[in-house]
Structure formats: C-alpha cells, structure tokens
C-alpha cells in the first residue's frame, strides 16, 4: 500500500526541507563487495546469480527503515512493501524492465523473478508495481567496472543499485556496486549501513 505522509511528522523533515527542491538531490556511493558466496550458492542450487543479488538487495533494504519512504512530485509517500526492478533483454533485441515483488522467502522470490523476467522478454513490455517502493537494478556484465554514476531524471527518485562483471581471484570473487539514492529519502549514513547489510546478507546466504 502507498499513502502520502506529512514530511514534518517523519524523521526526514529536515532532509525534505533541504533537498526536495535541489536541482541535483541524488547521491552515489560506491563499494566493492565479496560475492563469492552468491556464485557458489547459485551454482550449487541452480539459481541465477542476478536473482540472488536482487534478493539480497531486498533483504538488506528491508532492514533499513528509510527505504519505505520515497519523495515524489514534491510530496513524501510511505510504502509497506518493497519491489526490485530488473532490466531484461527482450526477444527483439531491445530492453524492458519488470518489478519483482520482494519476498523474504527465497523460493517465492525466485518464482516471481523467473515469471516476470520471462514475461517481459517474451512480450517486449515493461511492468510496474505502483503500490511498492521499487529499488532499481542494472547489471552491466559485459565488462568489469570500477565506478558507475547514473543519470538523474526528475521522472523518478527511486534508489538504484548497479554493478558490472564480477572479478574472479584466487580466493574470492568481487565486483563494484554503485548505489544511488535521493538525499530526501536517506542520508549517507543510512546508505552506508545498507551496503554493509548487503554484504552481510550475501555472506549469510544459505548458511
């Protein structure tokens, strides 16, 4: 469910005043993550690497209260659920995106991931979940990346997690993650904790 809230009644009151009208309110943090466990679990259980990454993003975000509030069109909205947006290559060679409802249950999230990504690829149509706070993702696996800075558009203020091709080393596998967020939604400290939670969720996967 989505409902409008009074910014002054939330913990984001000062941030809303300072950043809502900023011409460039987006902040980007970059961190290298150890994704060795994602790779191992994916190979052992037959899960797609990107699906596991998206699930861990949802798990980490659900531990961060600020993810459930989002500024839109000069107003502040509160959500009671999260979704992960995935970009899909369609059968015509173009791209579409689909929102995957986040579930704490990995098997349920995997079923939804496979269903909605296959649908987007086959029908060449994007789908959205308007009643969820959506976290965007983009996996640019064609090359290893050191840093990613996304464009800013006032069409949406949703947070975005992006990454490139993972780097296989002798003892671990890593890649660099770029996390972009609207400063009204959260502060740098919240974003930094989210990235720490993300690494923790990856490390705890299937233990």
Q: How far is CA 31 from CA 12, 56, 107, 196, in A?
A: 25, 15, 28, 9
* Domains of the chain by residue range: 2-7+14-204
- The arrangement of secondary structure in 2-7+14-204, i.e. its CATH architecture, is 2-Layer Sandwich (3.30)
**Strand, coil or helix: what is 164?**
strand
Q: What is the pTM of this model?
A: 0.96
Query: pLDDT tens-digit profile of 61-93?
Result: 999 999 999 999 999 999 999 999 999 999 999
* CB distance 86 to 117 below 8 Å: yes
Q: Nearest to residue 136, comparing CAs of 93, 100, 95? A: 100
Quick one: tokens of 25? 């309110």
| 115-166 per-position pLDDT tens digit | 999 999 999 999 999 999 999 999 998 898 888 888 777 778 999 999 999 9
Tokens of 97: 């995106």
């Amino acid at each position: 469910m989505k409902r409008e809230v009074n910014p002054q009644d939330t913990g984001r009151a000062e941030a809303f005043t300072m950043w809502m009208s900023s011409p460039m309110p987006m902040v980007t943090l970059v961190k290298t993550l150890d994704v060795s466990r994602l790779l191992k679990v994916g190979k052992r259980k037959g899960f797609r690497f990107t699906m596991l990454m998206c699930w861990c993003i949802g798990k980490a975000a659900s531990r961060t209260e600020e993810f459930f509030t989002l500024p839109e069109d000069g107003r502040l909205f509160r959500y009671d659920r999260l979704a992960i947006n995935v970009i899909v290559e369609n059968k015509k060679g173009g791209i579409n995106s689909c929102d995957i409802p986040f579930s704490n249950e990995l098997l349920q999230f995997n079923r939804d991931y496979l269903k909605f990504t296959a649908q987007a690829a086959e029908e060449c149509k994007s789908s959205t979940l308007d009643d969820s706070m959506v976290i965007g993702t983009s996996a640019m696996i064609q090359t290893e990346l050191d840093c990613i800075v996304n464009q800013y558009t006032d069409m949406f203020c949703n947070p975005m997690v992006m990454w490139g091709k993972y780097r296989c080393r002798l003892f671990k596998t890593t890649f660099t993650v770029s996390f972009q967020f609207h400063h009204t939604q959260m502060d740098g400290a919240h974003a930094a904790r989210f990235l720490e939670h993300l690494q923790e969720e990856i490390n705890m996967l299937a233990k």
